[in-house]
Amino acid sequence: MTPTPHRRKRFLQVLADTCNVTTACAAAKLSRSQVYGLRGRDPGFRQAMEEAIEAAADTLEAEARRRAVDGVEQPVFFQGEQCGASRRYSDSLLMFLLKAHRPAKFREHPIAAPPDPAAEDAAREDLARRLQRLAPPPTPEEPASG
């Protein structure tokens, strides 16, 4: 099928809802190759795809936050009958959100600060002075024999 304006619009709507190109292609009755070909040829469509993916990612992030912070109610059963409910929170989702929004503090492997050339030069000079002090004193030169 041809990527008509209606099919493009449907594709972008489903992509924004699902963040899944295959699902969006099926809903719009387009092939992945048609979509990726169009994305390569049409900068406007490429931009619209990026915006749809960002919108879907925002929705996913909001749901992750809801599950981490507000929790999800889960039914509690006793002898086959529901007798109540409990709220479950997701510590792992909370950690993912913290890593995303506070990477310097919550990253597993912190990224080193960029080197400071002036500090490196000062450290080299200090090291050279220390090494100089550790070196054995120079020996007096022996007189030349002749």
Question: Is residue 45 one of the residues assigned to a domain?
Answer: yes
Within a domain: residue 84? no
Task: Report if residue 55 sits inside a domain.
Answer: yes
Query: End-to-end distance of the chain based on CA atoms, in angstroms?
Result: 102
CA-CA-CA-CA torsion sign (99, 102, 103, 109): negative
pLDDT at 108: 77
Q: 3-state SS of 73-93? A: EEEEEECCEEEEEEEECCHHH
What's the number of domains the chain is made of? 1
**What's this model's pTM, rounded to 2 decimal places?**
0.62
Digit-coded pLDDT (tens) for 30-83:
999 999 999 999 999 999 999 999 999 999 999 999 999 999 999 999 999 999
Parent domain of 42: 5-61
Q: Which pLDDT value is given to residue 111?
A: 63
Residue type, 68: A
Average pLDDT value over all residues in the chain: 89
